[in-house]
Chains A and B, each alone.
Chain A
Amino acid sequence: MSTTEDGGSIAIEVTVNGTRHRREVEPRLLLVQLLREDLRLTGTHIGCDTTYCGACTVIVNGEPVKSCTMLAVQADGAEILTVEGLAQDGELHPLQRAFSEHHGLQCGYCTPGMLMSAHALLARNPDPDRRQIRKGIQGNLCRCTGYQNIITAIDAAAAAMREGK
């Protein structure tokens, strides 16, 4: 539960990649700042400040969210998944593997956000066509790849996940 403290700090509790954290935060602190600066999960990136680029996308309670547009206090009590939580026991998630195999990344700056949007898409629709994949990542900018290989990678990951690989 949130409680207002002296100096405007608010106590929150979030579960990130399965680990519970309690923090006192400034009301103006963004979720992405909490993740990057406080929890030091720097895989989530910042690319624009106006909710356009999607580099900061994480999954909050099962929904993809641009964490530069959510206050940390709004995430109080939430379950959050970031890119660091995708691999299990060191093994890459099928999406991560497919991005690498199909050259769906170059500089890698958009990649964490792209992976999280793709993750959310496949949770909703395990068998999307290429048009649906485009829609699923329309809120994520990539300046390097021209999207083509990202779409191919998500398509391949979806197939692998359906086959349980």
Chain B
Amino acid sequence: MGWTGTSVRRKEDDRLVRGRGLFTDDELEPGMLHLHILRSPYAHARIVRIDTAAAEALPGVACVLTGREVAAQCEPFMQIGPPPCDKIRDLPMAVDKVVFQGEPVAVVAAATVALAEDAAQLIDVEYEMLEAVVEAEDALSDRSILHEAAGTNRTWQGVFEYGDVEGAFRDAASVVRIPRMKFHRFASTPLEPNACIAEWTRQGSVEFLCNNSFPGFAQQLLAPGLRLKADQLHIRTYDVGGSFGNKIWNYVYMALAALASKKAGGRRVKWTETRTEHLLGSGHGNERTYLDTEVALDRDGVITAVRSRHIDDCGAYTRYEPLGCVIWSQVLPATYKLRNMRIDFTQTVTNKCPVVPNRGYSRMQQLWFMERIVDICAHELGIPADEMRLKNYITQFPYETPNGCVYDSGNYPAMLAKGKELIGWDRWQREIAAGRKAGRLIGIGIGTTLDSGTNNFGQARIVNPFLPFSGNSEVCTMRLDIEGAVVVCLGTTPSGQGHETSASQVVADVLGIDPSMVYVRPGFDTAWNTFVGHSGTYASQFAVTGLSAVHGAAQKLKAEMRRLAAFMLEAAEEDLEFGTGAQGPEVRVKGTDKAINYWYMANLVNNNNAMLDESLGDVTLNVRHVYRPPFKVPDTERKFGNLTLTYAAQLHIAVVEVSRETCRPQVLAYAAVDDCGTLINPQIAHGQVHGATSHGIGAALMECLDYDETGNLLTATFSDYCPITALNIPDIAWGNIETPSPFSYNGAKGMGEGGGAPLHTMSAAIQDALHGAGVIVTGSHHSAPRLFEILQQPNRDEAVSVERRGGKQGRR
């Protein structure tokens, strides 16, 4: 294992630093058409009339499409949810009414982007406004229904109950009640916007170059949606400028580009979204409200039970949802050992942009909830925040959670100790005490979080027992090319995670060669036959699924090469070794100079096969390996089973001061400790951790997708949304521990999403800073205006209550 664990310089970098990457929008050719999407300015409105005549008459316009025409050529996209989700007519364009601001109502394909936009401005749409519902609880009243055929805005409801919740509350020494908390809406907003180029060929197939990050899934939705066979969709990606999950559902726009190409006689049609379109209509993170939360604790401050009602707001269409209604339960108890939990989980549609998996998808919301509980209890019961964690952390691994998930490995107390050391915990305690005496609002907070990776898609059956999904898989094909080069194709769609590099490292270790001798093809291509329905880059899994597939394929290739070499060298297979000799990579007889190099092996199979014995007839030096993690279908009745294979963990600590003058929160110190098992390429893994940390800090302090009461997005440009910049991110002290996963061949854990640790941490630090001012932190967004509001009206009396009973030792 020489290359695993080494920070090999990335293969991707050379083309990218030279500006020679190929992002979708970079492709341009004469005759290509450009698509502009006309979007609804209203959140909820009936479309009374659309007049496209003036747009169609503009010279240079190839075609205009409206919803009716789209509906006539499409099947509504498959819905994952059980009834009433099946009644939601999810088409790529609004037909009779719009249900969110930014929903497409027409498209124009024209010779240039500017012409298409000019033409779109000539389209006359008459709307009849309807009442918009923007708050989840309002939506659940069904006063105004988005999808009338469904008859309700409620898309899913289920109870997740484990252990003896009633008993634990009966025996509790204290009960802490938190009536309402809220996790805000934001998105990771990759810098490269969604984009695709579609060509409806004369053979009736569709060629796509796009930046979709889950093409295995997109194909399954797009093919029936466009009334085609899956094999008629040829989907390619190349360089992708970030995704963070957000590019999973741009298949909706791929459909529009394809239909425009069809109407334009098969000309290639390119669509690249603008940033405002991205913020309005490309997918937001799930917003969640937590109601009537009750926490039972024993007299030592050990949490024994939690019960709560959660309402998830998925925006106007379910699309990838209601998967988020189960995915959070991968981390049901977070890092804590309580055994009794009851969560009543409901999801609703609202007149806002649909949600999409966003870095930390659905688990981050649950982890924030659990961290808030632990932290509020600590503050209300007067237990130091670090001690509170140590009393409650899970410490034995593998650990089966109350709902049957198996945490593979970890050491949360060691992470806490390391975090405290990095930040200088004791020193800060003294400084905070002194600062408070001087009237400063200053606090320290801990956020512990999990990054569960490698999904068991069987969890989808917990939301809908009839779904034909379970397990997980990823594919690698590998061959010794005609000239003896090792060529690797992945089923993943990397968007900055360096898959070309880490895959090369794995192959190099198996074959005993240098990673530079391994060529991993950039991009994804359905025509390479290197994909399955799970293929893509999402949900923190490449180090496990992707690299296990690569490892398996390398071993298959190696086995074939060994047989071939044994025959040619007239040696026993066990006497051979792999390595690099004077003529490049080779297989040789141990302790001799008898060797056969890769070129000759490839030559024998591809050009020179009369040299070979019949017994080698099955040796093609072209192998395919599918990795399947060992999952079972979960028990859908009990909502019980192992939902993810690995559990990376993060522990962050921050010191934050809230200015008394401006209410602006300022990070005075920040430490981050990470455990993602064995590191394949430490530099790449650390880079992922940095990025996830930055997203979390941005989301906690700056970024929010805020709507007004009519469903009008108030943060529809970057200037309003304010993504975090180099000036806003604090200096961070980094630490790392490694608890290898027993469940992956390499000890690695899937990582990259990061579990939203800074959100939990910032809330905790601000809680610590403002507790003395009578504030309970019940929201995840801490912009200066929000902190001003809460400091004007401290909420402790309504936001939390503590019932102390001095009762029996609680059960765990």
- Chain A residues with CB under 8 Å of chain B are 26, 28, 36-37, 40-53, 55, 82-84, 86-87, 92, 96-97, 99-101, 103, 105-112, 115, 130, 133-135, 137-151
Contacts and interface: CB of A to CB of B under 8 A. Distances in A.
B690 A145 contact: yes
Contacts of A36: 26, 28
A112 B687 contact: no
A47 B18 CA distance: 18
A107 B727 contact: no
Nearest to A82: B19
A87 B18 contact: yes
Contacts of B162: none
| 10 closest cross-chain pairs (CB), A and B | A43-B19, A108-B16, A109-B241, A107-B496, A106-B496, A146-B694, A83-B19, A146-B690, A52-B718, A42-B26
Contacts of B21: 43, 108-109
B242 interface: yes
B10 interface: yes
A93 B497 CA distance: 24
Given A41-B19, A140-B726, A103 B687 contact: yes
Interface of B is mostly: loop
B69 interface: no
Contacts of B26: 36, 42
A61 B138 CA distance: 56
B193 to A, nearest CB: 7
B201 interface: no
A25 to B, nearest CB: 12
A159 B7 CA distance: 22
Nearest to B672: A146
Contact of A42 (B17, B19, B275, B729): B19
B188 interface: yes
Contacts of A111: 16-17, 19
B703 to A, nearest CB: 11
A83 to B, nearest CB: 4
Contacts of B244: 143
B292 to A, nearest CB: 36
A44 B718 contact: no
B137 interface: no
B47 interface: no
A47 B726 contact: no
A47 B13 contact: no
Contacts of A103: 7, 10, 683-684, 686-687
A37 B19 CA distance: 15
24 contacts: A36-B28, A52-B719, A84-B20, A97-B17, A100-B13, A100-B17, A103-B10, A103-B684, A105-B16, A106-B496, A107-B192, A108-B13, A109-B192, A110-B191, A111-B17, A134-B727, A137-B726, A141-B723, A143-B189, A143-B695, A144-B242, A146-B694, A147-B729, A151-B726
Contacts of A108: 12-13, 15-17, 21, 239, 241, 496
Contacts of B190: 107, 109, 143
B535 interface: no
Given A92-B18, A150-B726, A144 B496 contact: yes
B23 to A, nearest CB: 7
Contacts of B240: 107
Contacts of B241: 45, 47, 107-109
Contacts of B729: 146-148
B691 A146 contact: yes
Interface in B684-730: 684, 686-688, 690-695, 717-719, 723, 725-727, 729
Contacts of B192: 45, 47, 107, 109
Contacts of B694: 145-147
A137 B694 CA distance: 16
B793 interface: no
Nearest to B277: A49
Size category, B interface: 35 or more
Contacts of B718: 48, 50, 52-53, 141
Contacts of A149: 687, 690
A153 B272 CA distance: 31
A50 B719 contact: yes
A138 B726 contact: yes
A55 B695 CA distance: 18
Interface string B229-244: 0000000000111101
Interface hub of B14, B192, B731 (most chain A Cβ within 10 A) = B192
B152 to A, nearest CB: 37
B19 A49 contact: no
B498 interface: yes
Given A100-B13, A134-B726, A146-B729, A46 B690 contact: no
Contacts of A47: 191-193, 241, 275
Contacts of A106: 242, 496-498, 687-688, 691
A17 B719 CA distance: 31
Interface hub of B13, B191, B242, B718 (most chain A Cβ within 10 A) = B191
Nearest to B684: A103
Contacts of A40: 28
B68 interface: no
Given A46-B25, A49-B276, A82-B19, A107 B242 contact: yes
B725 A141 contact: yes
A43 B18 contact: yes
Contact of B17 (A46, A115, A139, A144): A115
B691 A48 contact: no
Interface in B20-63: 20-21, 23, 25-26, 28
Given A47-B191, A144-B691, A52 B717 contact: yes
Contacts of B14: 92, 100
Interface hub of A51, A82, A112 (most chain B Cβ within 10 A) = A112
Given A50-B718, A106-B498, A149-B690, 15 more contacts: A36-B26, A42-B23, A43-B19, A46-B193, A46-B272, A47-B241, A97-B17, A100-B14, A108-B241, A112-B19, A140-B726, A141-B725, A146-B691, A146-B729, A150-B726
B358 to A, nearest CB: 12
B114 interface: yes
B687 A144 contact: yes
B159 to A, nearest CB: 37
B9 interface: yes
Contacts of B275: 47-50, 53
A131 B240 CA distance: 30
B695 A48 contact: no
A130 B16 CA distance: 24
B597 interface: no
A135 B12 CA distance: 28
A32 B538 CA distance: 32
B608 interface: no
B495 interface: yes
Interface hub of B188, B497, B729 (most chain A Cβ within 10 A) = B729
B532 interface: no
Contacts of A51: 719
A85 to B, nearest CB: 9
Contacts of A134: 726-727
B10 A100 contact: yes
A105 to B, nearest CB: 6
B538 to A, nearest CB: 15
A84 B239 CA distance: 17
Given A52-B718, A141-B718, A145-B694, A107 B191 contact: yes
Interface in B640-689: 683-684, 686-688
A129 B244 CA distance: 31
Given A107-B239, A138-B726, A96 B114 contact: no
Contacts of A141: 191, 718, 723, 725
Contact of A145 (B18, B687, B725, B732): B687
